[in-house]
Amino acid sequence: MKFYEFVDKRPAIGKLVVVEGVERLFSEFALETIVDIALPPDERALNLDRFVASEVASFGAIEAAVSAFPFLGTRRVVIVRGAHELRADPRRALAAVAGRVPDGNTLVIEDLVSPAAKRPEPLSKSFGRTALRIDTTPSADARDRFVRETLAAVGATAEPAAIAALVNGPADLAGVRTDIEKLALGGSPITLKNVAEETLASDDVRAYQFASAAVAGRSAEALALAHEMFATDPRGAAIPLLSALAQEYSLVWEIARPGGSLPAKARWRERDLRAVARTLGERRAKLGFERAVRGFEAVVTGRADNPQIVVDHATHHAPRPAKK
């Protein structure tokens, strides 16, 4: 059962539940929803136990907890988090405990591996239909729903292109949520320009090195870095590259304007950026930013058939300094 299917249907909770997949934010919500369905609030203090798998000295403690009779309630619920961090033998031991859960009580195991994984093999595969399986791996539709619901929760709206960019943003949804919360502080509607300037940070330093080289006019160096990233991630490299390029141009554009100043997070680069701004100028920095944003929009909305060509085009056609 997919995460949002579980959220919408709120099925009955049996004696064994496995929360699998790869999205931690969905896992946390699923675990709390299971508790909401399975235990009335006034029964939780005495009938809910939580364990971290890697911190358990013996799985006997888990088995004792899940085998105990409910105290002034209808059932006991035991949650074991982080089973995906265990080695093979402890995983087998936990699976054995899961096979002995008595009727009436519930064992919930968080095992954040893909249901299709080969190593480690998901614990749920050994349980057959005895377990309710909740897959937290977010599809494109699930990411879209998450973005829209998060925007609504913070009272913000966003342009369709900005929503598409957020859907294609950081892989982990906690990062997407942080981006939305930060963008919402600037007011609504959130635009694609806002997203390109302020979010989609990349863990790959090459994206920022690419942007710095491209804006400074070192096209060959920039393209070499971009092609390295495309070699390892043909589908996903364009988004961090174009986002970094838009951010770099926006900084240069800002500092090239009369009275312009850098945000605090970029002031350590002021000397280098001012040198680029002096040679590039305000108008050319603005043109470069607009070109990067248009390329970014083409990629995140799916209008670009070949994202690498978009990046190459934005780099080759980066505005050059005016001739003296």
**What residues make up the domain containing 160?**
140-198
Residues 182 and 248 in one domain: no
Which helix (H) or strand (E) segment holds residue 110: the answer is: strand 106-110
Residues 125 and 168 in one domain: no
End-of-domain residue from the set 150, 173, 198: 198
Dihedral sign for Cα atoms in the order 231, 237, 242, 247: negative
Candidate ranges 28-37, 116-125, 260-269, 279-288; pick with highest mean pLDDT:
28-37
Secondary structure percentages of the chain, helix, strand, coil, to 5: 60, 10, 30
Residues 130 and 7 in one domain: yes
pTM of the model: 0.71
pLDDT digits (tens, 9 = 90+) for 139-162: 989 999 999 999 999 999 999 888
Residues 278 and 306 in one domain: yes
End-of-domain residue from the set 86, 106, 135: 135
Spatial distance between the Cα atoms of 110 and 28, rounded to a whole number of angstroms? 9
pLDDT digits (tens, 9 = 90+) for 158-210: 998 889 888 877 678 888 898 898 889 888 899 888 887 666 556 678 888 99
Residues 188 and 300 in one domain: no
Distances (CA, A) of 301 to 30, 167, 183, 230: 30, 10, 19, 19
pLDDT at residue 167, rounded to an integer: 86
Q: Is the pLDDT of residue 321 over 80?
A: no
Residues 288 and 209 in one domain: yes
pLDDT at residue 205, rounded to an integer: 83
Contact call for residues 69 and 43 (beta carbons, < 8 A): no
Domain tally for the chain? 3
End-of-domain residue from the set 198, 216, 235: 198
pLDDT band, very low/low/confident/very high, at 324 (cuts 50, 70, 90)? very low
| Residue 321 resides in a domain | no
Kindly report the average pLDDT of the chain as a whole number: 89
| Residue 324 resides in a domain | no
- Mean pLDDT of the region 100-125: 91
pLDDT band, very low/low/confident/very high, at 318 (cuts 50, 70, 90)? low
pLDDT band, very low/low/confident/very high, at 28 (cuts 50, 70, 90)? very high
Spatial distance between the Cα atoms of 73 and 48, rounded to a whole number of angstroms? 11
Q: How many CB atoms neighbour CB 324 within 10 A?
A: 4
Residues 20 and 123 in one domain: yes
Residues 13 and 83 in one domain: yes
pLDDT digits (tens, 9 = 90+) for 29-39: 999 999 999 99
Residues 20 and 128 in one domain: yes
Spatial distance between the Cα atoms of 179 and 176, rounded to a whole number of angstroms? 5
pLDDT at residue 247, rounded to an integer: 86
Spatial distance between the Cα atoms of 126 and 2, rounded to a whole number of angstroms? 19
Query: Which SS3 state, helix, strand or coil, does residue 203 take?
Result: coil
Q: Copy the structure tokens of residue 173.
A: 């949804």
Residues 40 and 11 in one domain: yes
